[in-house]
Amino acid sequence: MSEVFVNGQFAGTVEDPREFMEKVRSERRKGGVSQIVNVHWFEPLDRVMVECGRGRVRRPLVVVKDGIPLLTEKHIKQLQKDEISWNDVVAQGVIEYLDAGEEENCLIAFSESELTAQHTHLEISPLVMLGLCTSLVPYGDYIQSARLIIGARNLKQSIGFYASNFPVRMDMDVNILHTAQAPIVQSIMHDLSDYNAHPSGQNIVVAVMSFKGYNIEDAVILNKGSIERGFARSTYFRPAVAEELRYSGGLMDEVSIPQKEAKGYKSERDYRLLEDDGIVFPEAAIKEEDVVIGKTSPPRFLSSLEEYSLASNIRRESSLALKHGEQGVVDFVLVTENEEGNKLVQVRLRDQRIPEIGDKFTSRHGQKGITGLIVQETDMPFTASGIIPDLIFTPHGIPSRMTISHLIELVGGKTGALAGRLIDGTTFDAEPEEALRKELKRLGFRENGTETMYNGMTGEQYEAKIFVGTMYYLKLKHMVANKIHSRARGPIQLLTRQPTEGRAKEGGLRLGEMEKDTFVAHGASLLLKERFDSDRTIVPVCEGCGIIAIHDAIKNKRYCPICGDNVEVSDIEVSYAFKLILDEFKSLGIYPKLMLKNKY
Amino acid sequence: MHKELEKFEGLLPLKLLREIEELAPQSKIKKVAERVLEEYTAARVDPGEAVGLVGAESIGEPGTQMTLNTFHYAGVAEMNVTMGLPRIIEILDGRKNPATPMMEIYLKSPYDKGKDIKEIALQVKEVKVGELVSEYSMNISELKIELKLSAEKCREFGLTPSIVVRNAEKLVKEGTMKAEGDTIVLKLKKRDETSMNDLYKLKEKVKGVYVSGVKGIFQVLPVKRKEEFLIITSGTNLKKVLDLEFVDATRTVSNDIHEVAEVLGIEAARQAIIDEVFKVIETQGLNVDIRHIMLVADTMCTSGEIKGITRYGVVSEKASVLARASFETPIKHIINAALTGEVDKLNSVVENVMLNQPVPIGTGLPGLVMKGKVAKAK
């Protein structure tokens, strides 16, 4: 006697749970019970759970009876000819959807060859164990699983052609690859996901060799000629958004060229690109700190009456300017209204990104690398037939990572490019490596993919045969242009007078506690002091009471707030942070007395 | 001591002097000693070298690679030892009770050959009544408990019911004990209304009563190391173990630093710290110069008692208020300094970094002393 629960609620009992489940299942396959219903028996509690609610993840499987799948050649032929549809096959009970619960009561065969009488279902394809991105990696069954995941993750970061209506979109942080190509080595998922209509990489000639040490530690060498022909060239789009906010008292922001009287007025030069409406004109070339949208806001505080009357005149400058290090061309200007009815101005910036040293590239096998050197085409190595690689990949990345699929793709890409066809590299169901090798040999190349190559600078033949071929390479969205950062002088924080933090604020790189320790360990005492001079200040100190004195710059007089001016006041050099902590002590009622002593 | 060498006393450490005397040919002893002095002086750490900081870096950096490891002995009883970073932290913090107290008991000559090693080991183990009893039967009407002793266990520990009674009797004040064959009859003295409850309490109490062995030793494990046998224990009692006649007291060690300090003195504790820390570092396959660890052990032990590297230990001894405040619990230190009117002489590193002054280390240490004529004002 088993209890039956429908969607978690007790509904009754059945004598034989197996028989009951079998009945529900066969009815479902016949169409007597809805396709949505799943049933499973939870043995430890002896409960039969019938589920038909929402929120269950279900997946389709081929039904197996007595070790024979119900899906036959006939079905497949009919499906191919479009005589029947997927839904028909499901309605016939040939394919059914299982939820996580029902899966527990089933024995699912991974492939047709391992079917036995006990099996209840058959996987439609072994590929379903992989996700969408993972099945885009060719020859995924020839790679370490961890690397396969990295490869799939890299695919998500690749620059491509994400949407064909990109010119009329205002997406944040967009990269478009100029000449994206469909990969030569494809998997079935490329077809299913229509990847070839929005690809995200390019087929390039890759040579696996070292080159003057500039590709150590996974770096890659790029051919300058390829870059000039447009390899991995992309455009970066970023919108600047400004809104006319409304404030209390009927005051509001105004998009316009700010008046000279406005508080915080920059300079005429900064506003030079604005048109009369206060917005830059399209196709204007703008550099860092140029104003893109001119805007003024009402004053922040209306304290006295006097100021109130002037309030309408004295406005606060709140324009939108390019940040430090940014540049580009105004691509598109959009003036509209948002949900609250406020005027909304969006200016889209466009910036062409030509590959440079520091840009990140990867194949689809988790073999990422940073551009280490861009070499003149004339200096690049070339093959006997005159092929010059677009990219040189270091062989040291292979043994430890065991990305065999990377190597197979290289051979496959070469074969495909020479034979003029696409290569099927679907995981578990790819064209065998043997076949690729044979075809490559037939095409007049060495079957292992190596070729005789010559040093581009000396013309000498390399002793080793170099592994060259075509591969699908991705440019990743991490480009130096967005990350490069340096500082000599720059902004400081208001409170501590120490340098700001972070690239966006043009900040410094912190020399932390442990870094400090290294200076001490070296005994480089004075160098350490200089490194921490970023917030040094000269503070007048009263020698009488040991409290920070006052320097009156107008009268050029120093006096102590406690002892008056008949007392010795000396200047000392300390970090501003220390002055701050003294102030904090005072605010806590602690009297920090400085006792001065002549250093010399 | 050789005559020539007497001049070097105080300049060279005693150990080196002895070595010279032993190894150098008599005729050249002066030359050798001079050369040794030269080398010795050159090898010494320069004044102003940040010895502690270099030590901290040298231990800390390899420490990041250490794994959280508990080491399991393969064999009979479950016995594991904290190793790795947790153990190092435990030692350097100067914790009173280590997570896994352990002893290595070395044996004197006839006993270390392995004969009857199991029996010797079991003599060390603390035996409680509860371990020997195979069956309890309570007689409520007569207010007595019959403890049936397991013959096997008794044989293992070399005990008989009468010995158990003799050893345990004094510790059980609430009842009287009497051996009857292989059982012990425990009778409750007091007889009133609450005696039934007392009987239950007595039963629980008697389980934990000490019978024989060394108190505090929970487990024993005889092992063979090279040619000799020794006993590894979990639980320590250095004082009692060293008193045992078959124990080689010169080599027997405990991993409880505080116990070592108590029994053998602070010098031994210093050595124990060095050995214990070094053991961990060695087993992790790391390479740290032992002198760094010696320095740490020295700072922990200089005051005569073990001080951990914590805000309650070594750090609280720091002279500078600012240095103490920058370590942990700044508010406590600042307030106490304010209450007592403490003066910070700014003699150390952290304070001077805070004030952005040159730190008195390395090049920041020496001042310029000039001996010369002061120009007279005309």
For the question of residue A218 being annotated catalytic, the response is yes
pLDDT of B296:
95
Positions of CATH 3.90.1070.20 in chain A: 2-124
B78 pLDDT more than 70: no
- Give the mean model confidence (pLDDT) for residues B287-312: 94
pLDDT of the residue at B377: 63
For chain A, the residues whose C-beta falls within 8 A of a C-beta of chain B are: 516-518, 520-526, 528-529, 532-533, 535-536, 573-575, 577-578, 581, 585, 588, 590-591, 595
Residues of B in Cβ contact (< 8 Å) with A587: none
The verdict on B244 touching A (C-beta cutoff 8 Å) is no
Which pLDDT belongs to residue A308?
A: 53
May I ask the CATH class of domain A136-233+357-475? mainly beta
Spatial distance between the Cα atoms of A449 and A468, rounded to a whole number of angstroms? 6
Q: What is the dihedral of CA B142, B144, B150, B154, to 10 degrees?
A: -130
C-beta atoms of A521 and B357 within 8 A? no
**Chain B residues within an 8 Å CB radius of A525:** 358-365
Whether the pLDDT of residue B1 is over 80: the answer is: no
CA-nearest residue to B335 within chain A is A590
- pLDDT more than 90, % of chain A: 82
Give the whole-angstrom CA distance, residue A97 versus residue A121. 11
According to DSSP, the residues that pair with A543 across neighbouring strands are none
Give kind and range of the element (H or E) at residue B36. Answer: helix B29-43
pLDDT at B9: 86
Which chain B residue's Cα is nearest to A597? Answer: B345
The confidence score (pLDDT) of residue B172 equals 79
- Tell if the CB–CB gap between B361 and A520 is shorter than 8 Å: yes
Contacts of A578 in chain B (CB under 8 A): 354-356
Measured in angstroms, the CA of B367 and the nearest CA of chain A are apart by 9
Nearest by CB to A523, from B353, B357, B363: name it: B363
**Which pLDDT score is estimated for B247?**
92
Q: Give residue B144's pLDDT.
A: 81
B358, B360, B362 ranked by CB distance to A522: nearest? B362
Interface contact flag, B334 A590, Cβ < 8 Å: yes
β-strand A291-293 against A320-321: which pairing, if any?
A: antiparallel
CB contact under 8 A, A575 and B349: no
Q: Residue A366: is it exposed, middle or buried by C-beta count within 10 angstroms (0-12/13-18/19+)?
A: buried
Q: Start-end ranges of CATH 2.40.50.150 in chain A?
A: 239-353
B74 falls in which pLDDT band (50, 70, 90)?
low
pLDDT grade for A332, boundaries at 50, 70 and 90: very high
ipTM of the complex: 0.79
Residue-wise pLDDT tens digits, B247-281: 999 999 999 999 999 999 999 999 999 999 999 89
The whole-number average pLDDT for the span A474-499 is 93
Cβ-based contacts of A574 with chain B (< 8 Å): 355-357
Position A157 pLDDT exceeds 90: yes
Instruction: At A256, list the tokens.
Output: 């316009």
A and B: number of Cβ contacts within 8 A: 70
Tell me what the pLDDT averaged over chain A comes to.
92
Chain A residues near residue B364 by CB distance under 8 angstroms: 523, 525-526, 529
B48: which chain A residues are within 8 Å (Cβ-Cβ)? 523
pLDDT at residue A312 is higher than 80: no
* A595 contacts B343? CB cut-off 8 A: yes
Interchain contact, A524 vs B357, CB within 8 Å = no
Subunit contact A523:B361, Cβ cutoff 8 A: yes
Residue A70's closest CA among A87, A84, A90?
Answer: A90
Distance of alpha carbon B125 from alpha carbon B215, whole angstroms: 8
> What CA–CA distances, in Å, run from B201 to A110, B166, B175, B185, B195?
63, 21, 11, 16, 10
The alpha carbon of residue B354 is apart from the nearest alpha carbon of chain A, in Å, by: 6
Q: If pLDDT is split at 50, 70 and 90, which confidence band does B378 have?
A: low
| Architecture, CATH, for domain A2-124 | Alpha-Beta Complex (3.90)
- C-alpha to C-alpha distance for A543 and A598, rounded to whole angstroms: 12
Contact call for B50 and A585, based on CB within 8 A? no
Average pLDDT over residues B29-52: 91
CATH 2.40.270.10 placement within chain A: 136-233+357-475
What's the pLDDT band for B50 if we cut at 50, 70, 90?
Answer: very high
Amino acid A148: pLDDT: 95
Give the active site residue among A88, A141, A218, A424: A218
Are A520 and B355 a contacting pair at CB < 8 A?
A: no
pLDDT over 60 (residue B73)? no
Which tens digit of pLDDT belongs to each residue from A459-470? 999 999 999 999
pLDDT band at B134 (very low <50, low <70, confident <90, very high): confident
CB spacing of B365 vs A525 below 8 angstroms: yes
Q: pLDDT band at residue B194, thresholds of 50, 70 and 90? A: low
Nearest residue to A363 (alpha-carbon basis) of A161, A218, A228: A218
Give just the sign of the alpha carbon dihedral B328, B331, B334, B337. Answer: negative
The pLDDT value recorded for residue A443 is 95
Segment A559-583 shows an average pLDDT of 92
- Radius of gyration of chain B from Cα atoms? 30
CA distance A27 to B65: 61
Judged by average pLDDT, the poorest of A48-62, A355-369, A487-501, B201-215 is B201-215
Query: Could you give the angle at the alpha carbon of A157 between the alpha carbons of A152 and A162, nearest 5°?
Result: 105
- Of the partner residues A516, A525, A591, the one whose CB lies closest to the CB of residue B364: A525
Q: Do B356 and A524 count as a contact with CB atoms less than 8 A apart?
A: no
Mapped onto helix, strand or coil, the DSSP state of residue A557 is strand
Q: Residue A305: pLDDT above 70?
A: no
Put simply, the answer to whether B50 touches A573 (Cβ < 8 Å) is no
Chain B residues touching residue A579 (CB < 8 angstroms)? none
Strands (DSSP E) contained in A382-482 are: 382-383, 391-393, 423-424, 450-451, 453-454, 466-475
Confidence of residue B71 (pLDDT cuts 50, 70, 90): low
- Using the predicted structure, report yes or no on whether residue B141 has a pLDDT greater than 80: no
Cα of B295 to nearest chain A Cα, Å: 15
Name the residue type at position B127.
V
Instruction: Give the lowest-confidence range in A245-259, A268-282, A296-310.
Output: A296-310
Instruction: Please name the CATH architecture into which domain A239-353 falls.
Output: Beta Barrel (2.40)
Q: Which domains does chain B have, with CATH numbers?
A: 3-43 (no CATH), 50-100+255-317 (1.10.1790), 127-212 (3.30.1360.140), 319-362 (1.10.150.390)
Residue A447 pLDDT > 80, yes or no? yes
CA distance B70 to chain A (A): 28
Number of H helices, E strands in chain B: 17, 12
Q: Which chain B residues touch A573 with a CB distance below 8 Å?
A: 356
Kindly indicate the confidence band of residue A241, based on its pLDDT and cuts at 50, 70 and 90.
Answer: very high
Q: Which of B51, B349, B355, B369 to mutate to test the interface with A (most CBs of A within 10 A)?
A: B355
CA A559 to chain centre: 58
The answer on pLDDT for B70 being more than 70 is: no
- DSSP output for A326-383: --EEEEEEEEEE-TTS-EEEEEEEEEEE---TT-EEE-TTS-EEEEEEEE-GGGS-EE
Among B338, B355, B363, beta carbon nearest to A525: B363
What pTM, to 2 d.p., does this model score?
0.76
All residues of chain B having their beta carbon less than 8 Å from the beta carbon of residue A522 are: 362
For chain B positions 31-50, those within 8 Å of chain A (CB to CB) are 48-50
- B355 touches A: beta carbon within 8 Å: yes
The first and second tokens of residue B23, run together, are 């190894």
In Å, what is the CA distance from A255 to each residue of A252, A275, A348?
10, 11, 17
pLDDT number for residue B160: 83
If you count them, how many residues does chain B have? Answer: 378
Whether the per-residue pLDDT at B40 is higher than 80: the answer is: yes
Residues of chain A in contact with residue B50, where contact means CB-CB under 8 angstroms, are 520-521, 523
Average of pLDDT values for B133-141?
Answer: 82
CA distance A192 to A197: 11
